């Protein structure tokens, strides 16, 4: 049984305000738009006017980047209240956050930071997801991270860790295929094996993004999750693998930095849509 | 219910902010037991992200000092003043005051005021929505009630008072006007507002700052006009009333004469 | 009301009437500087808007220690300030200390 995602199983785009005029003028069909929750936590003005338009004409995913749900510290209740207010106002088809932390000791780090996968951190994050879902009054999706280091303390595989969080809380998962590729390359594991281990039946959304490659201390390849370039073919191949197994899923093109113009960005979504269509057709044929 | 020792996360957090600290215990990679460069990606993400937030919010300030100087000063600021809120739209509220006392920028005494104007613009951009008062709402007020009228100003309204031509300098560096020699070097008060959706910046005429601040503090129209006239004999009430109502600076009027009756 | 009132009810009423008349006039120049841009249905995204982003990954360069000490600060402002002519001259803009 699939996680009941309310988003359509088609391609969406991460909304960038600079594209608003082009989007509003063309009103082309698109699976959904996704926005970062924290950019819409001001009181009013253009951000809300634009989000209101998107809400009216498209399916909407709200993606939090600052709840710090993976922290060992208590969740920020004020932030949870802001998220609740945003979800109540815009009624998104999906709300998602990250398996990561970003605040500690009252300081906000504005980055998605890694955590060790231990029994203790598992208990803590399960409590946080429970708290968040209760506060929001809805089920959420939790996203697998891209990481650059790992922890000697870790005792649970990431896929098992996510599976257990979902089992304990009832949350769904957001599978970022680029993050799988990046982490696999950074930590020397097989991305396809990770996908094979991943509980695909719990996935409510897929993320696709670009990254770049540099080298680490030992001169070994190090991939950086930069969201500033097209999705590479190797990541698209992994994506094909996922949707061949799981069937078409809501799939987001995330291009946050140096985003191209709207036609080019939409073109990336069309590429993903073509692959979703092909996977859907193949499944229909094999079922027949 | 702390279910996990907070020490690892705390150590990680401290090491993010201080490159002199060793790697947090347990941070490893399959290629290296001391993956300094890998950890530096996180350090750099944090710092570059904060500098980027300041660059985005203070483009005219950056243009005035140049990219190298701006980045270097933003780095100093971000190290000393990390964000305490996850709302990055508020980050940098303290940057203008930092610049005001930042010794290397001392030769540009107007710089902090340009940054204040830019910070106010972003606050106005995100301020609460409120429908400006229609001038017609005042058409029927009895002449003797005018002096007692109080106005509620739009939540986006801010004033940046400057001893420098801050509006002219900002406009040239913010892409609003052509670069030209500033032949009239005198202090300007900037009015920042967002009556509907677009942020507007205006140069305020003589006495207007006193007038608007008095109204904003809840003083009645008559007292505000007197205070403005006392601050500047050139204060023109007609023009200021037209600006108040036509510029969408007020969202409500309170006519106590009516309410008492 | 104080007898020092400089703005009488009559002058206030006159100013009010004049202001309303001004506002009823198209393209009124009374507002001082006309701001750039008019209301649009959904607004224009402000340059200078801070954007939270996931995955704003950067390289590992440039993360060295910030060692600010005023005396060894090596940067000088080198932007448009060099063209902004102040009463104290161009370039060196220190106000004259009295």
Q: What is the pLDDT of residues A219-248, one digit of tens each?
A: 999 999 999 999 999 999 999 999 999 999
CB contact under 8 A, A72 and B29: no
Q: Is B47 an interface residue toward C (CB < 8 Å)?
A: yes
- How near does any CA of chain B get to the CA of C83, in Å? 8
Domain boundaries, chain C: 71-98
Q: Which of B1, B194, B76 is nearest to A126 (CA)?
A: B1
CB neighbour burial string for B16-47, b if at least 16 within 10 angstroms, e if fewer:
bbebeeebbeebbbebbeebbbbbbbbbbbbb
Instruction: State the helix-helix crossing angle for B36-57 and B67-80, rounded to 10 degrees.
Output: 110
For residue A2, tell me if it sits in a domain: no
Q: CA-nearest residue of chain C to B108?
A: C93
**pLDDT at site A5:** 73
Q: What is the pLDDT of residues A171-219, one digit of tens each?
A: 999 999 999 999 999 999 999 999 999 999 999 999 999 999 999 989 9
**pLDDT at site C8:** 81
Containing domain of residue A231, as a range?
11-287
Residues B83 and B153 in one domain: no
Give how many domains chain B has, as a whole number. 2
Question: Measured between CB atoms, which of B27, B30, B128 is closest to A151?
Answer: B27
**Which residues neighbour A86 within 8 Å (Cβ) at sequence distance 6 or greater?**
A37, A40, A41, A62
Answer with the one of B76, B108, B140 that is the final residue of a domain: B108
> At A100, is the pLDDT very low, low, confident or very high (cuts 50, 70, 90)?
very high
Q: Is C27 an interface residue toward B (CB < 8 Å)?
A: no
Region for residue A105 given its phi and psi (left: phi exceeds 0; alpha: psi -120 to 50; beta: otherwise): left
CB contact under 8 A, C23 and B242: yes
Q: Kindly provide the ipTM of the predicted complex, given to two decimals.
A: 0.95
Measure the CA–CA gap between A215 and B170, rounded to whole angstroms: 42
Q: Is B187 an interface residue toward C (CB < 8 Å)?
A: no
Containing domain of residue B230, as a range?
128-261
CB neighbour burial string for A39-54, b if at least 16 within 10 angstroms, e if fewer:
bbbbebbbbbbbbebb
**pLDDT at site C47:** 58
Determine the average pLDDT of the residues in A84-103: 97
Answer with the one of B50, B73, B108 that is the final residue of a domain: B108
Token pair recorded at residue A166: 């979902």
**Is residue A288 predicted with pLDDT exceeding 80?**
no
Q: What is the rounded radius of gyration, in angstroms, for the C-alpha atoms of chain B? A: 24
**pLDDT at site B257:** 73
- How near does any CA of chain C get to the CA of B37, in Å? 6
For residue A139, tell me if it sits in a domain: yes
For residue B175, tell me if it sits in a domain: yes
Chain C partners within 8 Å of A209 (Cβ): 55
**pLDDT at site C64:** 47
**pLDDT at site C51:** 59
- Write down the pTM of the prediction: 0.91
Residues B238 and B142 in one domain: yes
**Is residue C97 predicted with pLDDT exceeding 90?**
no
CB contact under 8 A, B125 and A150: no
Q: Is C22 an interface residue toward B (CB < 8 Å)?
A: yes
For residue A124, tell me if it sits in a domain: yes
Give how many domains chain A has, as a whole number. 1
């Amino acid at each position: 049984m699939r996680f009941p995602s309310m988003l359509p199983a088609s391609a969406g785009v991460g909304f960038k305000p600079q594209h608003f005029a082009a989007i509003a003028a063309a009103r082309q069909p698109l699976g959904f738009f996704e926005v970062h929750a924290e950019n819409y936590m001001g009181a009013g003005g253009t951000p809300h006017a634009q989000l209101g338009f998107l809400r009216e004409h498209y399916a909407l995913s709200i993606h939090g980047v600052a709840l710090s749900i993976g922290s060992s510290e208590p969740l920020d209740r004020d932030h949870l209240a802001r998220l609740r207010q945003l979800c109540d106002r815009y009624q998104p088809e999906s709300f998602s956050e990250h398996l990561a932390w970003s605040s500690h000791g009252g300081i906000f780090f504005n980055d998605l930071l890694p955590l060790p996968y231990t029994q203790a951190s598992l208990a803590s994050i399960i409590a946080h997801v429970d708290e968040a879902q209760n506060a929001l009054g809805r089920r959420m999706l939790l996203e697998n991270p891209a990481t650059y280091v790992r922890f000697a303390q870790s005792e649970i595989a990431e896929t098992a860790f996510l599976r257990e969080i979902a089992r304990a809380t009832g949350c769904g998962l957001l599978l970022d295929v680029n993050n799988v590729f990046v982490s696999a390359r950074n930590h020397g594991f097989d991305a396809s094996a990770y996908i094979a281990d991943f509980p695909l039946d719990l996935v409510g959304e897929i993320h696709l993004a670009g990254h770049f490659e540099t080298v680490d201390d030992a001169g070994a390849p190090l991939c950086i999750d930069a969201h500033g370039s097209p999705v590479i073919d190797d990541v698209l191949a992994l994506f094909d693998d996922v949707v061949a197994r799981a069937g078409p899923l809501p799939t987001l093109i995330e291009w946050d930095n140096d985003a191209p113009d709207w036609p080019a960005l939409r073109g990336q979504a069309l590429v993903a849509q073509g692959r979703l269509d092909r996977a859907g057709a193949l499944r229909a044929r094999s079922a027949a | 219910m702390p279910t996990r020792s907070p020490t690892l996360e705390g150590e990680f957090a401290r090491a993010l902010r201080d490159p002199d600290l060793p790697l947090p215990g347990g941070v490893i990679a399959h290629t290296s037991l001391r993956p300094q460069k890998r950890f530096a990606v996180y350090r750099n993400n944090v710092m570059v992200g904060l500098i980027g937030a300041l660059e985005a919010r203070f483009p005219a300030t950056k243009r005035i000092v140049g990219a190298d100087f701006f980045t270097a000063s933003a780095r100093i600021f971000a190290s000393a003043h990390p964000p305490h809120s996850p709302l990055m739209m508020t980050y940098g509220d303290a940057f203008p005051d930092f610049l005001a006392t930042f010794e290397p920028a001392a030769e540009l005494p107007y710089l902090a005021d340009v940054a204040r104007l830019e910070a106010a613009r972003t606050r106005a951009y995100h301020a609460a929505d409120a429908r400006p008062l229609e001038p017609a709402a005042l058409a029927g007020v009895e002449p003797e009630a005018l002096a007692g009228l109080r106005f509620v100003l739009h939540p986006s309204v801010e004033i940046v008072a400057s001893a420098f031509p801050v509006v002219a300098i900002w406009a040239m560096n913010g892409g609003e006007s052509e670069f030209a020699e500033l032949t009239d070097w005198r202090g300007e008060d900037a009015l920042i507002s967002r009556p509907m959706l677009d942020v507007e910046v205006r140069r305020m005429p003589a006495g207007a700052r006193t007038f608007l601040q008095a109204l904003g503090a809840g003083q009645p129209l008559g007292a505000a006009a007197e205070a403005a006239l006392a601050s500047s004999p050139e204060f023109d009430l007609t023009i200021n009333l037209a600006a108040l109502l036509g510029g969408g600076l007020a969202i409500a009027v309170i006519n106590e004469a009516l309410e008492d009756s | 009301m104080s007898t020092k009132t400089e703005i009488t009810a009559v002058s206030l009423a006159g100013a009010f009437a004049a202001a309303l008349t001004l506002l009823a006039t198209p393209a009124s120049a009374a507002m001082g500087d006309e701001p750039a841009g008019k209301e649009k249905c959904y607004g224009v995204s402000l340059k200078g808007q801070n954007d939270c982003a996931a995955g704003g990954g950067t390289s590992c360069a440039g993360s060295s220690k910030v060692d600010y000490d005023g005396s060894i600060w090596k940067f000088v402002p080198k932007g448009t300030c060099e063209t902004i002519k102040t009463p104290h001259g161009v370039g060196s803009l220190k106000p004259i200390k009295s």
